């Protein structure tokens, strides 16, 4: 009987996955399957799908801003929202730039939204807050160099202040109405 159980294979139930895996390995496969669903980060929304579909959903339905990025290039952003999505078109990777508060400081970090979120980190990120305006040199900036970006298939459950690393931006670096806008340089690399 054990031989029958050990030799039986199951098809992965995730849309787009054509894998057949031994029955006893199905749970392990589904934890890392690149076709596993990612879940909407908006409370009460039940949407789930692969990262590119989630990107479109968040952009269209929930008006989350999206910035196209290329690996290895520095992109200057002005963040005034609690969330911004970065879309690397080379491989359709999606990143959440999450902004939160920790005491008087604003904290910023990046999370890769990916199916099979238990996979080893595949990206590194450099975040540089610029300020006080105008940034005339590196002395007027704060840098976070993260070697391993956290992966998540549930970006709505990410609390930026609980991530392994984040950029802490003091109030003097904030601009805009109500002093809530962060001028940020972002560079994402594959590892």
Which residues share a beta bridge with 79?
182
pLDDT in tens, 101-138: 888 888 999 999 988 755 677 899 999 998 765 555 55
Question: pTM to 2 decimals?
Answer: 0.81
**CATH number of the domain that 95 lies in?**
2.60.210.10
> Per the domain annotation, does 11 fall within a domain?
no
> Per the domain annotation, does 17 fall within a domain?
no
The pLDDT value given to residue 62: 95
Share of the chain above pLDDT 70, in %: 88
What is the extent of the structural domain holding 135?
38-190
Contact 81, 100 (CB under 8 A): no
Mean pLDDT, range 71-79, rounded to an integer? 93
The pLDDT value given to residue 3: 66
> Per the domain annotation, does 74 fall within a domain?
yes
Contacts of 46 (CB under 8 A, 6+ apart): 40
Number of domains in the chain: 1
The pLDDT value given to residue 74: 96
> Per the domain annotation, does 51 fall within a domain?
yes
How high does pLDDT run on average in the chain?
85
> Per the domain annotation, does 26 fall within a domain?
no
């Amino acid at each position: 009987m054990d031989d029958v159980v050990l030799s039986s294979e199951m098809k992965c139930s995730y849309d787009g996955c054509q894998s057949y895996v031994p029955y006893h390995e199905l749970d392990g496969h589904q934890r890392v399957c690149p076709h596993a669903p990612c879940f909407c980060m908006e409370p009460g929304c039940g949407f789930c799908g692969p990262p590119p579909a989630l990107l479109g959903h968040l952009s269209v339905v929930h008006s989350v801003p999206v910035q196209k990025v290329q690996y290895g290039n520095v992109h200057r952003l002005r963040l005034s929202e609690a969330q911004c999505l970065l879309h690397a078109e080379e491989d359709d990777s999606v990143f959440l730039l999450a902004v939160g508060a920790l005491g008087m400081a604003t904290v910023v970090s990046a999370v890769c939204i990916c199916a099979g979120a238990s996979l080893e980190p595949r990206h590194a990120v450099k975040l540089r807050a610029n300020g006080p305006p105008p940034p005339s040199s590196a002395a007027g900036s704060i840098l976070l160099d993260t070697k391993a970006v956290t992966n998540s298939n549930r970006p709505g459950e990410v609390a930026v202040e609980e991530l392994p690393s984040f950029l802490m931006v003091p109030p003097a670096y904030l601009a805009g109405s109500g002093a809530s806008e962060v001028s940020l340089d972002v560079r994402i690399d594959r590892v």
